[in-house]
């Protein structure tokens, strides 16, 4: 796969510009070429993968089951499928040490992505920051202004500690992160507190049923909204409903409302 480096650099700059506090980039996370093209056609100005969705489609569990080769293979499919910038979720960098994270970013850029999610897994702050610094150094070496979305798992672990979250965020920003992702933060008051504590920093939250709307999150100053594995969960739920109906009742009502064969096939006939 040959990458147009000038086009890649332009997409990287665009991805940065799309992160505006109060006018958030909304990402309906994808996992393959078809979902990427459907999301792009729906109006997405950028496309993001979700590690859970990618892991499931490759037959492994999220949270450590995915290997770098699998993540890169799916990312390459997505990059080739769309014209917009692509950012990939690489969990913790899918590497044992900072040097490995740097190599992972080099390989990610080689398939044409221009953004990455790196999660801290609640490692010691200095260790997590070192991994972010390695990712940034690799991007600089490649000459691409990578959008590095640093995720902290404080809220995901059930600890609503804003102070620790902000401390980690500041350390990651100092190490080279472009923005901060705090999945699990859904209370508007908490989100407002995070935005106030990190002025000018693009804050990413994960949304789904019961979460504040895009407009409400925009009013709070959020710069990026992700659905994470939300689309994949809906797609797999539809597949299970149809299969259960078929084998339990021998009927096909759950297939109603599906996309037409021609429409899906046309996604790949350009």
167 and 128 in contact (C-beta within 8 Å)? no
Q: What is the pLDDT of residue 270?
A: 67
List residues bridging with 149 in a β-sheet: 117, 179
SS3 15: helix
Q: What is the spatial distance between Cα 135 and Cα 115, in angstroms, rounded to a whole number?
A: 11
CB atoms within 10 A of CB 60: 14
- Is pLDDT of 160 > 70? yes
Residue 86 pLDDT grade (very low, low, confident, very high; cuts 50, 70, 90): very high
Cα distances (Å, whole numbers) of residue 166 to 5, 27, 67, 147, 199: 35, 23, 30, 19, 11
- Is pLDDT of 79 > 80? yes
Residue 158 pLDDT grade (very low, low, confident, very high; cuts 50, 70, 90): confident
Q: What is the pLDDT of residue 224?
A: 99
Tokens 């949270």 sit at which residue?
63
For residue range 132-153, list pLDDT tens digits in order: 999 999 999 999 999 999 999 9
Q: Write down the pTM of the prediction.
A: 0.97
Cβ neighbours for 29, distance < 8 A, ≥ 6 positions apart? 48, 49, 50, 53, 89, 226, 227, 228, 229, 230, 231, 232
Any long-range contacts for 236-242 (C-beta under 8 Å, 24+ apart)?
A: 236/56
All structural domains of the chain, each given as residue ranges with its CATH number in brackets, are: 5-238 (3.20.20.60)
* Token pair listed for 157: 């672990």
For residue range 175-211, list pLDDT tens digits in order: 999 999 999 999 999 999 999 999 999 999 999 999 9
Q: What is the spatial distance between Cα 252 and Cα 6, in angstroms, rounded to a whole number?
A: 49
Tokens 């797609």 sit at which residue?
235
């Amino acid at each position: 796969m040959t990458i147009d480096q000038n086009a890649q650099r332009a997409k990287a700059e665009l991805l940065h510009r799309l992160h505006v506090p109060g006018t958030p980039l909304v990402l309906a996370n994808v996992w393959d070429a078809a979902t990427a093209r459907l999301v792009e056609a729906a109006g997405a100005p950028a496309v993001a993968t979700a590690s859970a969705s990618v892991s499931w489609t490759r037959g492994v569990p999220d949270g450590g089951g995915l290997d770098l080769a699998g993540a890169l293979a799916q990312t390459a499919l997505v990059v080739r499928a769309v014209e917009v910038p692509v950012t990939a979720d690489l969990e913790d960098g899918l590497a044992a040490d900072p040097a490995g994270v740097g190599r992972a970013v080099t390989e990610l850029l080689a398939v044409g992505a221009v953004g990455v999610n790196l999660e801290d897994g609640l490692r010691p702050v200095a260790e997590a920051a070192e991994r972010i610094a390695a990712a940034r150094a690799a991007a600089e070496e490649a000459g691409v202004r990578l959008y590095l979305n640093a995720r902290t798992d404080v809220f995901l672990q059930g600890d609503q500690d804003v102070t620790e979250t902000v401390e980690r965020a500041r350390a990651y920003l100092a190490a080279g992160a472009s923005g901060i992702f705090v999945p699990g933060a859904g209370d508007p008051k908490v989100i407002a507190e995070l935005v106030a504590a990190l002025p000018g920093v693009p804050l990413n939250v994960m949304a789904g049923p019961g979460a504040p709307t895009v407009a409400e999150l925009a009013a709070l100053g959020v710069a990026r909204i992700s659905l994470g594995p939300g689309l994949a969960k809906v797609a797999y739920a539809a597949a299970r409903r149809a299969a259960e109906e078929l084998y339990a009742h021998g009927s096909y009502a759950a297939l109603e409302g599906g996309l037409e064969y021609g429409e899906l096939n046309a996604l790949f006939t350009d």
